[in-house]
Amino acid sequence: MLNALVTVAAEEGASGNPLLPAYYDIIWSGVCMLVIVLVVWRVALPRIGTVLDARSAAIEGNIAKADEAQRQAEAALEEYTAQLAEARKEAGAIREAAREDGKKIVAESRENAAAEAARLTAQAHAQIEAETQTARTALRSEVGTLALDLAGGVLGAKLDDDATAQSVVDRFLADLEASEKAAK
């Protein structure tokens, strides 16, 4: 292909190196290049610099905001940890107070139950004593009547005198109690 270009250039009658452009092409290309470089240097570079500066400022601002957010997050974490520790302390104190209250309630319940049991026992003893007394009175009267009837049958006379009858009954019951004590 290079051979083809050399032959075409030779036929046209050009002299010199076929690979070098003409001087006027080099001058006009240089002027165009100089205009493009001046436009880029005067217009585009300041705008690109401004955009890059704004972008770097935004990035630095975002980094500062991120650092501030990180500090705030760490402060919030420390505060949360402190509040959590305080809440755990409070929960422990509440649990301990509840245990103490529970112990007091159990102790009061035991005291109340013991008092109620003592009251019921005393009431039962009083009731038993009253029933025993009633039974003794009824038994004395019945035993007295029987004793008088038996004594009247043994003596062959009816005992109508209350004082005599009472003394006979009392003696009979005393003998009966003495025989019970001797048997034990």
* pLDDT tens, position by position, 90-101: 999 999 999 999
3-class state of residue 106 by DSSP? helix
pLDDT tens track for 104-161: 999 999 999 999 999 999 999 999 999 988 988 888 778 777 777 776 676 665 656 5
**Res 101: pLDDT:** 93
Distance CA 78, CA 160 (A): 107
**Res 21: pLDDT:** 83
User: Are 153 and 168 spatial neighbours (Cβ–Cβ below 8 Å)?
Assistant: no
φ, ψ for residue 17 (rounded to 5)? -80, 125
Instruction: Please say if the pLDDT value at position 30 is more than 90.
Output: yes
- What tokens appear for 139 in the block? 């038994």
